[in-house]
């Protein structure tokens, strides 16, 4: 997959596109709230270097696949 | 060519093995049918040559079986077409303001999933139409003709594996591979009234398959009968059983809090009550998993297609989803992935505590007309487009296998489908319950090929 650290998309958007994106993000945030989900990272995670975050994401993906594999 | 092929793969194998059918004739007939209906239904994007003289091999369960697959799989010497027209690439090339990623290198081999089917003797007749970049709930395409629904020209074809469902429903092929990120096998299967199996995430290799959202993508299969699905699944997942043995899996159903239109409920409810032994309320799990699936899908679509989005070469659906994903907080994806195992464990421990197969809603309204769900069409209704994938994506988040199964017809005579869901890697349970329901509700051979569209 492409790097997770893409340049900010905002600079490429027209005002109209930006409004549409803001609306979609607000709708997703509302859906998260309604489902009782808080995707805010803990402070230590926020401070983690990018390399470490990428490693953790890979490990989390592996954990899910390992969990599924227990049903094989 | 006056040849009548048996309705199922095992029937074809038997007829060939007993010498009642001749291999070259069978292959030539399938190729002719594929070409003739492919043009009529606008569903083939690339025709492949087939060796008529290869000969029948009784040790290969798919010997002589004509298949064709979504145009998202690598083929030797051909990159997937992905439902993109050449026009956009060429038109935008001179207007690019950001350098694009290097062009996808031309593959040397077929994707392993296609190779596995060919090793079992299957013929690959061609590549099939799909929603552009596998990113839509319908088969509408901007640059290429949209595949037509063999049940009626006015009806929508679900996406994104639209050509796969059309080719299977019309009898152009016995089966087809598709991919499912948020329902892209189950939705087209539902709209064309055939079976669609989304496999457990990670069970079938996605190598050589162009990704949309790698954490959610699964390879899936479409066919006209559950036993044909089992034949294809057996060739793809050799280490997995294809039947449940002597014991019939236990079942449960979910109806409480489910939003179904009255005409669909009238068909679905009696069937769920008849075949499901226990009632479950899955609303909370479904609600959470649906949102988390969306978070992952928008972000990963944005990352996968960032170059195409930023250079103005992506299709509208990819831009709409991916732009939101690129603008979303980076930690959303990380958190959605981090809590995935926990969500899946909680769901599995609850839902499968006393059941092996869940009978769940898939279709919430009658099959829509194309002009109701194809964007920009005269009678476009976003609500009807959303209804197509209402109960799909959450199962991709949980990584579970799901079988779209037609179970009856509505008042207008159009098919109505539900989905069966099992524990990870328990496709054999889906096939066992699906086979029983098919036998009772549709007959031994499943769905008969149909094409109501004249030349």
Whether the per-residue pLDDT at A67 is higher than 90: the answer is yes
Which pLDDT score is estimated for B110?
A: 97
Quote the tokens at residue A20.
């549409």
Q: Which residues of B touch A45 (CB under 8 A)?
A: 331, 334
Which pLDDT score is estimated for A47?
A: 63
Strand arrangement of the beta sheet that strand B66-70 belongs to = B44-47, B123-128, B66-70, B175-180, B218-223, B195-198, B402-409, B415-422, B357-361, B251-254, B278-280
What confidence tier does B93 reach under pLDDT thresholds 50, 70, 90?
Answer: very low
Q: What is the mean pLDDT of residues B175-194?
A: 98
Q: Which residues of A touch B327 (CB under 8 A)?
A: 9-10, 13, 21, 25
- Residues B188, B140: Cα–Cα separation, whole Å: 12
Q: Which residues of B touch A54 (CB under 8 A)?
A: none
Give, in order, the Cα–Cα distances in Å from B203 to each of A72, B75, B206, B263, B291.
10, 21, 9, 36, 24
* C-alpha neighbours within 13 Å on the C-beta side of residue B147: 37
Q: For B9-441, CATH number?
A: 3.90.1300.10
Which pLDDT score is estimated for B1?
A: 62
Which pLDDT score is estimated for B307?
A: 93
pLDDT in tens, B229-259: 999 999 999 999 988 787 889 999 999 999 9
Quote the tokens at residue B278.
């226990």
pTM: 0.93
What are the residue ranges spanned by the domains of chain B? 9-441
Q: For residue B170, with 0-12 CB atoms within 10 Å meaning exposed, 13-18 middle and 19 or more buried, which class applies?
A: buried
Q: What is the mean pLDDT of residues B115-123?
A: 97
Residue A61 distance to chain B (closest CA, Å): 7
**Partner-chain residue, chosen from B201, B328, B337, that has the shortest CB–CB distance to A57:** B337
What confidence tier does B199 reach under pLDDT thresholds 50, 70, 90?
Answer: very high
- Quick check: A68 and B424 CB within 8 A? yes
- Quick check: A68 and B326 CB within 8 A? no
What confidence tier does B266 reach under pLDDT thresholds 50, 70, 90?
Answer: very high
Residue B23 near residue B55, CB atoms below 8 Å:
yes
- List the single range of A16-25, B176-185, B418-427 with lowest mean pLDDT: A16-25
- Quick check: B288 and A65 CB within 8 A? no
- What percent of chain B lies above the pLDDT cut of 70? 96
- Residues B219, B191: Cα–Cα separation, whole Å: 19
Q: Which residues of B touch A1 (CB under 8 A)?
A: 211, 214, 300, 303-304
| Residue B440: strand, helix, or coil | helix
pLDDT in tens, B208-234: 999 999 999 999 999 999 999 999 999
State the complex-level ipTM.
0.90
Which pLDDT score is estimated for B360?
A: 98
Q: What is the mean pLDDT of chain A?
A: 81
Residue B220 near residue B185, CB atoms below 8 Å:
yes
What confidence tier does B105 reach under pLDDT thresholds 50, 70, 90?
Answer: confident
pLDDT in tens, B334-359: 999 999 999 999 999 999 999 999 99
Compute CA B46 distance to the chain's CA centroid, rounded to the nearest angstrom.
19
Of residues B379 and A59, which shows the higher confidence score?
B379
Residue B46 near residue B81, CB atoms below 8 Å:
yes
pLDDT in tens, A37-50: 999 887 665 666 77
- Quick check: B337 and A28 CB within 8 A? no
What confidence tier does B71 reach under pLDDT thresholds 50, 70, 90?
Answer: very high
E-strand spans in B39-79?
44-47, 66-70
Whether the per-residue pLDDT at B91 is higher than 50: the answer is no
Of residues B319 and B86, which shows the higher confidence score?
B319
What confidence tier does B87 reach under pLDDT thresholds 50, 70, 90?
Answer: very low
Whether the per-residue pLDDT at A2 is higher than 60: the answer is no
**Partner-chain residue, chosen from B306, B329, B338, that has the shortest CB–CB distance to A2:** B306
């Amino acid at each position: 997959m492409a790097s997770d650290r893409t340049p900010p998309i905002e600079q490429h958007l027209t005002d109209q596109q930006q409004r549409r994106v803001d609306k979609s993000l607000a709708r997703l945030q509302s859906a998260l709230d309604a489902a009782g989900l808080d995707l805010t990272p803990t402070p230590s995670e926020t401070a983690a270097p990018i390399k470490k975050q990428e490693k953790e994401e890979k490990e989390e993906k592996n954990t899910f696949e390992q969990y599924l594999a227990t049903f094989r | 060519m006056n040849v009548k092929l048996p309705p199922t793969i095992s029937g074809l194998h038997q007829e060939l093995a007993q010498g009642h059918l001749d291999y070259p004739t069978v292959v030539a007939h399938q190729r002719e049918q594929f070409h003739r209906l492919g043009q009529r239904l606008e569903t083939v994007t690339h025709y492949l040559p087939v060796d008529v003289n290869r000969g029948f091999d009784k040790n290969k369960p798919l010997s002589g079986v004509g298949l064709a697959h979504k145009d998202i799989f690598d083929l030797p010497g051909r990159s997937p077409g992905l439902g993109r027209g050449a026009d956009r690439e060429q038109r935008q090339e001179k207007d690019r303001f950001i350098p694009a990623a290097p062009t996808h290198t031309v593959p040397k081999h077929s994707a392993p999933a296609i190779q596995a089917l060919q090793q079992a003797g299957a013929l690959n007749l061609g590549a099939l139409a799909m929603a552009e970049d596998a990113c839509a709930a319908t088969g509408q395409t901007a640059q290429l003709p949209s595949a037509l629904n063999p049940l009626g020209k006015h009806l929508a074809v679900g996406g994104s594996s639209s050509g796969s469902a059309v080719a299977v429903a019309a009898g152009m092929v016995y089966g087809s591979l598709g991919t499912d990120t948020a329902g892209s096998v189950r939705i087209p299967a539902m709209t064309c009234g055939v079976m669609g199996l989304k496999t457990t995430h990670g069970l079938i290799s996605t190598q050589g398959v162009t990704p949309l959202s790698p954490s959610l993508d699964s390879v899936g299969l479409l066919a006209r009968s559950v036993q044909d699905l089992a034949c294809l699944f057996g060739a793809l997942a050799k280490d997995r059983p294809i039947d449940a043995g002597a014991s019939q899996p236990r079942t449960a159903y979910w109806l409480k809090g489910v939003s179904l239109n009255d005409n669909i409920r009238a068909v679905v409810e009696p069937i769920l009550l008849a075949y499901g032994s226990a009632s479950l309320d899955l609303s909370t799990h479904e609600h959470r998993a649906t949102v988390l699936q969306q978070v992952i899908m928008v972000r990963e679509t944005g990352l996968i297609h960032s170059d195409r989005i930023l250079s103005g070469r992506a299709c509208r659906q990819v831009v709409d989803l991916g732009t939101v994903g690129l603008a979303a907080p980076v930690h959303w994806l990380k958190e959605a992935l981090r809590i995935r195992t926990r969500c899946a464990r909680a769901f599995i421990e609850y839902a499968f505590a006393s059941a092996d197969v869940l009978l769940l809603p898939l279709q919430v309204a009658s099959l829509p007309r194309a002009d109701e769900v194809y964007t920009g069409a005269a009678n476009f209704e976003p609500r009807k487009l959303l209804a197509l994938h209402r109960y799909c994506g959450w199962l991709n988040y949980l990584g579970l296998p799901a079988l779209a199964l037609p179970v009856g017809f509505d008042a207008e005579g159009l098919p109505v489908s539900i989905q069966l869901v099992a524990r990870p890697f328990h496709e054999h349970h889906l096939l066992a319950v699906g086979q029983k329901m098919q036998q009772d509700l549709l007959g031994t051979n499943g769905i008969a090929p149909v094409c109501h569209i004249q030349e």
